[in-house]
Amino acid sequence: MTAATDLRSLSVQDYHRMVAAGILAADERVELIEGQLYTMAAKGTAHSAAVTRIDRVLSRLLVGRALLRFQDPVQLNDFSEPEPDVAVVHIDPLDYEDHHPTPGEIFLLIEVADSTLRRDRDLKVPLYGRSGIAEYWILDVQERCLYVFRQPEAEGYGVEQKLNEGDAIAPLTFPDCEITVREFLRSSIVE
């Protein structure tokens, strides 16, 4: 007898039914990517602090222009509903009460990598690019740099940049909102 090697891909609807049936807890730290469930890494203090800094900076710059969502789902297609650390999305009158943001409603996705750089690059770059996400950033808190991905294409992104903490960048959709990478990182000055 031969062992089955085919895996069944879960749809977003299957995933939601599993939560509704109690198979998965509503607060279970998993995300659906290309039909497979992935356990999300525990959030360490460096990760949480970086998300707080990103919130502070982007909230100030984008007030009234975009909605910021933190570690909430985005629905990329029928088989992927990841939970990026930060999603900068269109303002919605219902605050996305009736659906999760979809690619056409997403300006920018940001992941904070403390221990997840490989997954954020190898798994999410191709997924976000294929889904047409215009811009994706990975803040690497260990190496104190920001990876920027632009020009989505079938295999990922056509343009990738690595910015160091002294470098500045503005989101494509908000070119007047310049941010220095250092603003997202812990101060290197110890008092």
Q: What mean pLDDT value characterizes the chain?
A: 91
Examine the pLDDT at 54 and tell me if it is beyond 90. yes
* Mean pLDDT to the nearest integer, 110-124: 94
* Mean pLDDT to the nearest integer, 60-80: 95
Q: What is the CATH number of domain 43-184?
A: 3.90.1570.10
Among the listed residues 112, 110, 108, 109, the one whose alpha carbon sits nearest the alpha carbon of residue 50: 112
Which pLDDT belongs to residue 189? 52
Examine the pLDDT at 165 and tell me if it is beyond 70. yes
Which pLDDT belongs to residue 31? 86
Q: Which of 6-20, 108-122, 175-189 has the highest mean pLDDT?
A: 108-122
* Mean pLDDT to the nearest integer, 130-144: 97
State pLDDT tens for residues 90-114.
Answer: 999 999 999 999 999 999 999 999 9
Q: Convert 113-124 to b/e letters by CB count within 10 Å (16 or more is b).
A: bbebbeebbebb
Domain ranges of the chain: 43-184
State pLDDT tens for residues 12-52.
Answer: 898 888 888 888 887 888 888 888 888 888 888 899 999 99
* Mean pLDDT to the nearest integer, 155-177: 97
Banded model confidence at residue 175, pLDDT cuts 50, 70, 90: very high
List residues bridging with 66 in a β-sheet. Answer: none
